[in-house]
Chain A
């Protein structure tokens, strides 16, 4: 995990840094920088995720660990859980989703304002895990679009941080035209 001589998980072409025009250093002795609007909007978005913790199962313990002071998602700007989906832009799906729970998850997703991202936390959210039975949704991407998949039962906090950095890289590459993405393709909820 991660790249040597880099911050963990950040690849050289990741655009983690703000894209700055080459001639900006000459303006007002470097106190002004020039960049693209998309770049600076994405830069601010990726360092200020507001999480909605959709916690259904044991992965929640690991979520608490990674959100707490030891691993501290706040270092990546993703600290503050919002318990209203209307105030959140990163849906953390933490744990097993049963078929009975599925309409609720879709409703929460649809209530979030755009731009919004989805983080599948743990193997149950990713694929159903070992719950291949009559009750369990076989991966939340059968319900809503997912941006980052972090497997593990549960995932280590380092994996979650790695996934979050990968999501930041993804956000940095987005275009204004990517939004809005609209409601979940699942219609019956």
Chain B
């Protein structure tokens, strides 16, 4: 099946970095070690038979109570081969950081800022990692599952 070309190449090239893969209904996913995310992404972009030149989305998931707690998810697309690929990297709460991929795909810039804004994940090497949707002075990261649903921010209003 052509769709699993990416997984095969990735497993051959980075046998120690790929923790888990699955390919559900043609959607290829690889769970990788977060230390190797830059290497893997560069390979996915540059390898002649892969050419994932379109970074479509970076987001995060909070699996509270599990270890690692967070998962950073990358959605890639190859315009040349019309293929999609998903990369996931677990990020623990104690070391809540991962390498930024802005140097590989510049479109990751705002996505990583959003993931930082909502989940508090530090993207090391990001050129300007600050909040993007919320404002300076916001306390906490609202899409974390332990963010209190009724929390009020110390805001401009006298009653809030």
Q: A interface vs B, CB < 8 Å?
A: 99-100, 102-103, 106, 132-135, 137-139, 141-143, 185-186, 188-189
User: A142, B147: Cβ atoms under 8 Å?
Assistant: no
B43-51, B97-105, B152-160: which one contacts chain A? B152-160
How far, in Å, is A44 (CB) from chain B's closest CB?
33
Q: Is the CB of A185 within 8 A of B150?
A: no
A135 to B160, CA, bound (A): 12
Chain B residues within 8 Å of A137, by CB: 155, 157, 160
In the complex, chain A residues whose CB is within 8 Å of the CB of B68: none
> Does B151 sit within 8 A of A, measured CB to CB?
yes
Check A186–B135 contact: CB distance below 8 A. no
- The reply on B134 being an interface residue by CB < 8 A is yes
State whether B135 touches A134 (Cβ < 8 A).
no
- Quick check: B135 and A100 within 8 Å, CB to CB? yes
Q: Is the interface of B mostly helix, strand, loop or mixed?
A: loop
Does the CB pair B156–A134 fall under 8 Å?
Answer: no
Once the chains bind, are A188 and B156 in contact (CB under 8 Å)? yes
Q: Mark B108-148, 1 if CB is under 8 A from A, else 0.
A: 00000000000000000000000001110010001000010
Contact count A vs B, C-beta below 8 Å: 46
Contact between chains at B155 and A99 (CB < 8 Å): yes
A134–B160 CB distance below 8 A: no
The answer to whether A99 touches B142 (Cβ under 8 A) is: no
Contact present for A100 and B134 (CB under 8 Å): yes
Whether A102 and B153, one on each chain, are in contact in the complex, defined by CB atoms closer than 8 angstroms, is: no
Known interface pairs A138-B159, A185-B158; 13 further A-B residue pairs with C-beta atoms within 8 A, sorted by A's residue number: A99-B134, A100-B134, A102-B156, A102-B157, A134-B138, A134-B142, A134-B147, A134-B151, A135-B142, A138-B152, A142-B157, A142-B158, A188-B156
Contact B153 A134 (CB under 8 A): yes
Candidates A99, A103, A132, A142; contact of B150 at CB < 8 Å: A132
Contacts A134-B142, A138-B160, A142-B160 hold; do A102 and B147 have CB atoms under 8 A apart?
no
Q: Give, as a whole number of angstroms, the nearest-CB distance from B138 to chain A.
A: 8
What string of 1s and 0s marks CB contacts (under 8 Å) between B44-84 and chain A?
A: 00000000000000000000000000000000000000000
A186 and B142 contact, Cβ closer than 8 Å, known pairs A100-B135, A132-B150, A134-B151: no
**What CA separation (Å) do A99 and B155 show in the bound complex?**
8
Which residues of A sit under 8 angstroms from B155, Cβ to Cβ?
99, 102, 137
Chain A residues contacting B135 (CB-CB under 8 Å) are: 99-100
Tell me, in angstroms, the Cα distance from A132 to B147 when the chains sit together. 13
Task: List residues of chain B with CB within 8 A of the CB of A102.
Answer: 155-157
Contacts of B142 in A (CB 8 A): 133-135
